[in-house]
């Protein structure tokens, strides 16, 4: 007897959710120019999905190890503000500035990793705390005028402005996102580290017994997330052409939501980066559609929250049924 | 071998050191009666909330939706009062409606968490977004104000020189202390947080206890939102922003273990006082409120890491002991 | 088939804080044999295995691998030699495929990338060689426990292990899964792999093993060749003839049928078939012992009676009143329950003796309005402390930091504060020192003399014989034997639990 693979099944569900949403908005918000199903608008959706998807790759790694990161939004703001400072107060070349941004992102990830893996602070508490630490640091280093009032300093580096565009409608951001997603998927599926991530998430005990260094696997996941956060911050500031203290407020919700919708179980050990990309597209489509329908954009917060709870409940129920079925099947089948 | 229990004395020591430090650095501003009442004011909202949220902490749960539920209930009380014509009766109905919202939110949390065995942080993380959206929708994303005297009295009227919220805090804290310390339900809360399986075998309905805890937490969060709205005479989707962290930090400083089963209301109120002093002190030292997050975040990390270390240490010692006993 | 000696442990001594656990033990495994290891609880089987796998260090003695002396300091050392241990607690990773699990941490690679084609091929080769019913690309999620165990075995084989250690491998398997495992074991033997097979179940040992080493009280009791493995002889060797004839291991059972029935269980059947159609009665003042092997379904039966797990069918009445299946209803009806896993199920480690003792008794603690009377609560705990001598006697002491024996007294103590009609205790003295054991026995006896019905589930035969007035033996989910008003010995109980007939046992 042939059963459908769980992963394939779950993928079909998230693709189905996305398809239903697209069809729904096409019916409600039309297909012509300026409407929902127009090429320009679709590209816009992909562009909006890109930053949650990029950071979502890192967050997916963390969630696969049964962890979580609530600090991505604040870390993004901090990275942006460090770069703004370099832009404002130094004559360092563009590349050095970006490099420093990436280093700060990695450092934020490293700190999260140490708190979670070495100090054994529960993930959501530790990263909730660094969320407020990174945000506070952003305020502390924010560029102020003589009276101490925070200034939003424009960053108009020519190369920087260039990053916000693309080849025609194909924004560089979308290209980078695709590259990060592909690399993330390859790491997950085709390297030893990827296998280790799943092992740690499924059972830390079993992973240790198999000779996997659990702490190191967790650390690397957080550091990698810091790296994706930095990329997100670079493109966000490039698009805004400035860094503000408000960047990434409530952002941490987005990559996690994308991962959850895309089938990355928060209990760890399942899901992949492609799923997260689908989830990010779903969320961006939702936001876009709500806008096109001239609905109060506040509704999207409600809808997002409900969708997450619904998906999580579905996954919990589905998983317990699968486990039960496997047990019964095993008991019946025996040798043949 | 004399073993001084530093844990027992650490709290008063921290408090005294902090007060001395502030008195030296900013003697005039800090020691004034006016400032004292200011501190009490900022303490009271955190105190009201943590007196209820402690129930959730004690069963090993968490509530990440504190801030937005606070905003939503603030919006509800103001909007309902408006809708019913800004009369004192309307205020009463508004307050009741906001409290009902808090209870329902807690009920929802409790049912989802216990029925599907989904981690509390995840459920409250999602509902946080829902409450935020609801607060925005109800206010059309604007600040709504309410200056009905019957309403503003809740937060700003003074009795014997102290603002009303202080009395609210004292009453709520005493009730919470009584429930936890003196009633059967309180005993059950500690048992469920300390060892859920053993509690269930002892005939405790662990599911019902957990749902009750989330409802209590929702209720006090809503009350916090009402008081906050009344104090500021307005409500918006950002009412109570930052309170999730403040309440958790207050609990953690007060010795409430986020791993469950450990902590007291007196400790949590102490934590709230320290948070109030911290907010006030940083303010007096001209540290902007946006920077306070640094200190609060570090406090959480250090406290919880210390907690986790002690737990690991205890279980290691225990394993050794058991091995010896078995041999 | 069996060839040269592959592993030999000579003159092994081990003691824990002065108490000898292994004394001059000798153990030898030949290439290509299934060598069973048996012994009662505490005979030293697991200590011996832990010394071989490097978990414990030996005090004295020598281990030789293929004739050469070796030092095994940790599990890695033992893996390097070619020994693999199939853990009872499986270490397979559900979201990965069979092949990924088999080669976890040792994946063949091209550059940084896993070579799946090669890995699947290598796995398939192993599967073909030993004819396992598995496919390399199946995700483990979809497999039952039996197949997951096979993956563990494959993992060992993929590291060219010559010796597999299986510790109670059939404990959590269904009948069909166990059959599958037995066939695999036969094939492994044909391929020249040696297996150390640890089991309580005589029929499995009888069917599978080429030789059998029996330990008793930390010493070699016997090494039996295949043709010598006769149930009666094995049981006799495990218990020891001398022991069986001594006073403590031989008992005349007396139960008083005229006493009114306290508990009446009719046709109790488990939803997941761990026990079926269980019917029995317990009289007032009677101590009913439940014997049988671990996993025979005894714990599950008492959990269902108390209402922790809901039975699929059957009826439980106490003093003629039907019980509804929930711990709370059971407590109110007068049942007390001491669970098997004390640390995880018995008490609240962070709370004091007082609060642990009072936990089930708030219906009888005095209250002023809503407030619990602290004085009355403390009084209750002091009574418990005095009644059964809990140490330290400080009622505010956290139970988590006490010794095992005193923790158990706290767990037991809370029931003594109530009007009990029935007390159920599951493995009441596991991991407890001798002094505390005796105290717990006398508590049970005292309760019975006061007219309380007592059910004792225990795997310790000595204990079973010592406390019981009547004994029921379970095997594979059924009650297979009742010992009542007759002379009983450890051997007889063990034989019944093993499914060996009385004739064979003689």
Cα(A62)–Cα(C198) distance, rounded to whole angstroms?
40
Counting the structural domains of chain B, the total is 1
CB contact under 8 A, A131 and B121: no
Q: Which of residues 209-238 of B touch A (CB under 8 A)?
A: 237
A143 pLDDT band (50/70/90 cuts)? confident
CB contact under 8 A, B194 and C403: no
In a domain, A107, yes or no: yes
pLDDT value at residue C245 = 67
Average pLDDT over residues A10-31: 86
Looking at per-residue confidence, does B34 or A187 come out higher? Answer: A187
In a domain, A334, yes or no: no
Cα(C155)–Cα(C100) distance, rounded to whole angstroms?
10
Provide, as residue numbers in chain B, all residues whose Cβ is less than 8 Å from the Cβ of C405: 325
* Cβ-Cβ contacts under 8 Å for B303 (sequence gap 6 or more): B252, B253
pTM > 0.95: no
What CATH code is carried by the domain that includes residue B68?
1.10.3470
Average pLDDT over residues A128-147: 88
pLDDT value at residue B2 = 41
Mapped onto helix, strand or coil, the DSSP state of residue C21 is strand
In a domain, A336, yes or no: no
Provide, as residue numbers in chain C, all residues whose Cβ is less than 8 Å from the Cβ of B323: 16
A335 pLDDT band (50/70/90 cuts)? very low
User: Please, what's the b/e burial string for A16-51 (b: 16 or more CB within 10 A of its CB; e: otherwise)?
Assistant: ebbeebbeebeeebeeeeeebbeeebbbbbbbbbbb
A179 pLDDT band (50/70/90 cuts)? very high
Lookup: tokens for B108:
């929802």
pLDDT tens by residue, B226-259:
999 999 999 999 898 889 988 998 998 888 888 8
CB contact under 8 A, B297 and A313: no
CB contact under 8 A, B123 and A128: no
Among B184, B195, B323, beta carbon nearest to C348: B195
pLDDT tens by residue, C205-236:
888 999 999 998 888 888 989 888 888 888 88
Examine the pLDDT at A2 and tell me if it is beyond 60: no
Which parts of chain C sit beneath pLDDT 70? 1-2, 88-90, 242-249, 502-506
pLDDT value at residue B33 = 66
Task: List the domain range (segments joined by +) for residue A50.
Answer: 2-329
Rounded to the nearest angstrom, the minimum Cα separation between C109 and chain A is 8
CB contact under 8 A, A198 and C95: yes
Task: List the domain range (segments joined by +) for residue B309.
Answer: 6-319
For residue A306, CA distances in Å to A260, A264, B75, B136 come to 12, 17, 20, 16
* Cβ-Cβ contacts under 8 Å for C487 (sequence gap 6 or more): C250, C251, C252, C253
Cα(A253)–Cα(C28) distance, rounded to whole angstroms?
61
For residue C315, CA distances in Å to A229, C221, C304, C310, C434 come to 61, 45, 10, 11, 38
Give the CA-trace dihedral at A275, A279, A281, A283, to 10 degrees: 180
pLDDT tens by residue, B131-167:
999 999 999 889 999 989 899 999 888 888 788 899 9
Provide, as residue numbers in chain A, all residues whose Cβ is less than 8 Å from the Cβ of C107: 192, 195
Rounded to the nearest angstrom, the minimum Cα separation between B185 and chain A is 27
Counting the structural domains of chain A, the total is 1
Name the pairing type of β-strands C83-86 and C163-167: parallel
Cα(A70)–Cα(B206) distance, rounded to whole angstroms?
29
In a domain, B145, yes or no: yes
- What value of ipTM does the predicted structure carry? 0.85
Mean pLDDT value across chain A: 88
In a domain, A147, yes or no: yes
CB contact under 8 A, A119 and B301: yes
Question: Which residue has 């801030």 as its token pair?
Answer: B67
- DSSP for A60-97? HHHHHTT---S-HHHHHHHHHHHHHHHHHH----HHHH
Among A191, A196, A328, beta carbon nearest to C112: A191
DSSP C398: B
Closest residue in chain A to residue C75, using alpha carbons only? A209
Cα(B84)–Cα(B77) distance, rounded to whole angstroms?
11
In a domain, B224, yes or no: yes
CB contact under 8 A, C144 and A202: no
What CATH code is carried by the domain that includes residue A80?
1.10.3470
Q: List residues of chain C with CB under 8 Å from any CB of chain A.
A: 76, 87, 89-96, 100, 104-105, 107, 109, 112-114, 116, 133, 139, 141-148, 174, 176-177, 179-180, 183
pLDDT value at residue B1 = 37
CB A161 within 8 A of CB C58: no
Name the pairing type of β-strands C453-457 and C422-426: parallel
In a domain, B327, yes or no: no
pLDDT value at residue C499 = 85
* Per-state percent for chain B, helix, strand, coil, to nearest 5: 80, 0, 20
CB contact under 8 A, A326 and C144: yes
Rounded to the nearest angstrom, the minimum Cα separation between A1 and chain C is 12
Cα(A292)–Cα(C459) distance, rounded to whole angstroms?
70
Subunits next to C (3 or more Cβ pairs <8 Å) are: A, B
Cα(C8)–Cα(C158) distance, rounded to whole angstroms?
23
pLDDT value at residue C483 = 94
Residue C170 has phi, psi (to 5 degrees) of: -95, 5
Size of interface B-C (CB pairs under 8 A): 94
Cα(B30)–Cα(B52) distance, rounded to whole angstroms?
29
Give the CA-trace dihedral at C156, C159, C162, C163, to 10 degrees: -30
Among B64, B248, B297, beta carbon nearest to A136: B297
CB B70 within 8 A of CB B239: yes
pLDDT value at residue B323 = 46
Lookup: tokens for A113:
């990793």
CB A332 within 8 A of CB C180: no
* Cβ-Cβ contacts under 8 Å for B193 (sequence gap 6 or more): B58, B59, B60, B260, B261, B262
Cα(C237)–Cα(C241) distance, rounded to whole angstroms?
7
The dihedral built from the CA positions of residue C75, C80, C81 and C82, taken in this order, carries a sign that is positive
Q: Does B174 touch chain C (CB under 8 A)?
A: no
- DSSP for A263-276? T--TTSS---HHHH
Provide, as residue numbers in chain A, all residues whose Cβ is less than 8 Å from the Cβ of C92: 206
Lookup: tokens for C59:
């005090």
Examine the pLDDT at A331 and tell me if it is beyond 90: no
pLDDT tens by residue, A261-293:
999 988 888 899 999 999 999 999 998 888 888
Residue B321 C-beta-side C-alpha neighbours within 13 Å: 15
CB B256 within 8 A of CB B189: no
């Amino acid at each position: 007897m042939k059963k459908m693979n769980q992963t394939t099944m779950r993928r079909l569900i998230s693709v189905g959710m996305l398809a239903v949403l697209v069809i729904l908005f096409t019916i409600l918000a039309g297909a012509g120019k300026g409407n929902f199903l127009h090429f320009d608008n679709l590209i816009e959706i992909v562009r909006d999905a890109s930053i949650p998807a990029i950071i979502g790759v890192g967050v997916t790694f963390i969630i696969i190890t049964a962890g979580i990161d609530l600090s991505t939004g604040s870390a993004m703001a901090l990275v942006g503000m460090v770069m703004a400072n370099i832009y404002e107060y130094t004559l360092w070349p563009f590349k050095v500035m970006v490099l420093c941004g990436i280093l700060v992102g990695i450092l934020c990830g490293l700190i999260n990793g140490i708190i979670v893996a070495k100090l054994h602070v529960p993930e959501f508490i530790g990263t909730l705390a660094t969320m407020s630490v990174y945000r506070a640091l952003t305020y502390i280093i924010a560029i102020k005028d003589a009276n101490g009032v925070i200034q939003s300093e424009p960053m108009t580096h020519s190369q920087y402005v260039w990053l916000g565009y693309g080849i025609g409608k194909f924004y560089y951001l979308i290209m980078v996102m695709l590259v990060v997603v592909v690399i993330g998927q390859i790491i997950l599926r085709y390297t030893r580290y990827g296998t280790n991530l799943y092992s740690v998430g499924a059972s830390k005990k079993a992973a240790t017994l198999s000779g996997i260094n659990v702490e190191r696997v967790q650390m690397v996941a957080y550091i990698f997330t810091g790296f994706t956060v930095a990329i997100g911050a670079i493109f966000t500031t490039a698009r805004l052409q400035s860094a503000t203290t408000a960047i990434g407020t409530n952002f941490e919700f987005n990559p996690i939501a994308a991962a959850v919708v895309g089938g990355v179980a928060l209990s760890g050990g399942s899901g992949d980066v492609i799923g997260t990309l689908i989830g990010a597209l779903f969320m961006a489509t939702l936001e876009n559609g709500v806008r096109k329908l001239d609905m109060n954009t506040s509704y999207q917060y409600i809808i997002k929250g409900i969708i997450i709870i619904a998906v999580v409940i579905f996954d919990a129920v589905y998983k317990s049924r699968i486990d039960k079925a496997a047990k019964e099947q095993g008991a019946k089948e025996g040798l043949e | 071998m004399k073993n001084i229990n530093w844990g027992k004395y650490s709290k008063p020591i921290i408090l005294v050191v902090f007060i001395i430090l502030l008195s030296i650095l900013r003697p005039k501003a800090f020691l004034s009666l006016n400032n004292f009442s200011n501190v009490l004011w900022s303490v009271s909202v955190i105190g009201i909330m943590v007196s209820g949220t402690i129930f959730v902490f004690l069963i090993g749960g968490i509530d990440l939706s504190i801030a937005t539920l606070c905003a939503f209930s603030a919006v509800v009380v103001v909007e309902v009062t408006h809708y019913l014509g800004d009369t004192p009766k309307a205020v009463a109905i508004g307050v009741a409606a906001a409290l009902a919202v808090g209870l329902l939110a807690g009920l929802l949390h409790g049912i989802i968490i216990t029925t599907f065995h989904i981690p509390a942080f995840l459920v409250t993380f999602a509902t946080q977004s829902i409450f935020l959206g609801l607060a925005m929708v109800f206010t059309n994303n604007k600040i709504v104000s309410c200056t009905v005297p019957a309403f503003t009295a809740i937060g700003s009227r003074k009795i014997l020189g102290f603002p009303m919220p202080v009395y609210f805090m004292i009453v709520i804290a005493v009730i919470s202390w009584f429930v936890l310390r003196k009633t059967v339900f309180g005993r059950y809360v500690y048992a469920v947080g300390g060892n859920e399986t053993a509690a269930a075998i002892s005939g405790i309905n662990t599911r019902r206890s957990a749902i009750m805890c989330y409802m209590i937490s929702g209720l006090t969060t809503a009350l916090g939102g009402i008081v906050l709205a009344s104090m500021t005479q307005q409500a918006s989707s950002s009412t109570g922003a930052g309170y999730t962290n403040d309440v958790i930090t207050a609990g953690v400083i007060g010795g409430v273990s986020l791993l469950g089963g450990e902590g007291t209301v007196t400790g949590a109120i102490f934590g709230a006082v320290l948070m109030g002093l911290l907010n006030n002190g940083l303010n007096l030292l001209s540290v902007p409120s946006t920077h306070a997050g640094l200190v609060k975040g570090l406090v959480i990390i250090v406290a919880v890491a210390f907690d986790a270390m002690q737990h690991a240490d205890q279980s290691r010692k225990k394993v050794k002991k058991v091995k010896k006993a078995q041999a | 088939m069996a060839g040269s000696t592959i592993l030999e442990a000579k003159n092994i001594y081990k003691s824990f804080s002065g108490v000898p656990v292994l004394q001059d033990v000798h153990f030898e495994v030949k290439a290509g044999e299934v060598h069973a290891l048996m012994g009662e609880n505490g005979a030293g089987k697991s200590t011996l295995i832990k010394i071989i796998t490097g978990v414990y260090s030996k005090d004295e003695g020598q281990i030789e691998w293929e004739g050469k002396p070796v030092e095994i300091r940790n599990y890695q050392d033992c893996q390097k030699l070619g020994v693999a241990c199939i853990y009872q607690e499986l270490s397979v990773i559900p979201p990965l495929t069979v092949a990924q699990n088999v080669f976890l941490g040792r994946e063949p690679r091209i550059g940084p990338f896993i070579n799946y084609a090669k890995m699947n091929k290598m796995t398939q080769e192993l599967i073909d060689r030993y004819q396992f019913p598995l496919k390399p690309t199946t995700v483990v999620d979809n497999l039952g426990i039996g197949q997951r165990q096979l993956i563990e075995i494959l993992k060992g084989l993929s590291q060219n292990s010559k010796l597999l250690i299986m510790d109670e491998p059939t404990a959590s398997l269904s009948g069909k899964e166990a059959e599958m495992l037995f066939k695999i074991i036969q094939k492994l033997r044909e391929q020249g792999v040696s297996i150390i097979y640890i089991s309580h179940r005589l029929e499995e040992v009888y069917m599978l093993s080429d030789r059998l080493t029996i330990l008793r009280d930390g010493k070699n009791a016997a090494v039996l060749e295949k043709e010598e493995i006769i149930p009666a002889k094995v049981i006799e060797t495990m218990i020891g003839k001398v022991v069986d004839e001594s006073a403590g291991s031989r008992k005349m059972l007396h139960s008083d049928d005229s006493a009114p029935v306290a508990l009446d269980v009719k046709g109790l059947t488990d939803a997941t078939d761990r026990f079926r159609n269980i019917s029995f009665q317990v009289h007032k003042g009677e101590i009913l012992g439940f014997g049988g092997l671990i996993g025979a379904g005894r714990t599950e039966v008492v959990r269902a009676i108390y209402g922790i797990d809901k039975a699929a069918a059957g009826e439980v009445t106490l003093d003629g009143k039907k019980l509804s299946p929930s711990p709370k209803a059971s407590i109110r009806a007068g049942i007390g329950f001491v669970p098997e896993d004390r640390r995880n199920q018995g008490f609240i480690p962070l709370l004091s003796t007082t609060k642990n003792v009072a936990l089930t008794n708030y219906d009888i603690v005095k209250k002023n309005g809503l407030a619990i009377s602290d004085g009355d609560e403390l009084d209750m705990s002091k009574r418990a402390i005095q009644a059964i001598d809990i140490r330290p006697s400080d009622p505010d002491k956290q139970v988590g930091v006490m010794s095992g024996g005193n923790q158990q007294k706290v767990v037991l103590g809370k029931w003594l504060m109530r009007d009990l009609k029935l007390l159920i205790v599951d493995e009441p003295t596991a991991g407890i020192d001798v002094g505390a054991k005796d105290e717990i026995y006398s508590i049970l006896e005292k309760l019975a003399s006061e007219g309380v019905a007592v059910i004792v589930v225990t795997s310790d035969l000595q204990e079973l014989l010592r406390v019981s007035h009547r004994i029921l033996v379970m095997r594979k989910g059924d009650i297979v034997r009742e010992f009542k008003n007759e002379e009983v010995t450890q051997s007889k109980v063990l034989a019944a639990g093993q499914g060996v007939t009385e004739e064979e046992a003689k």
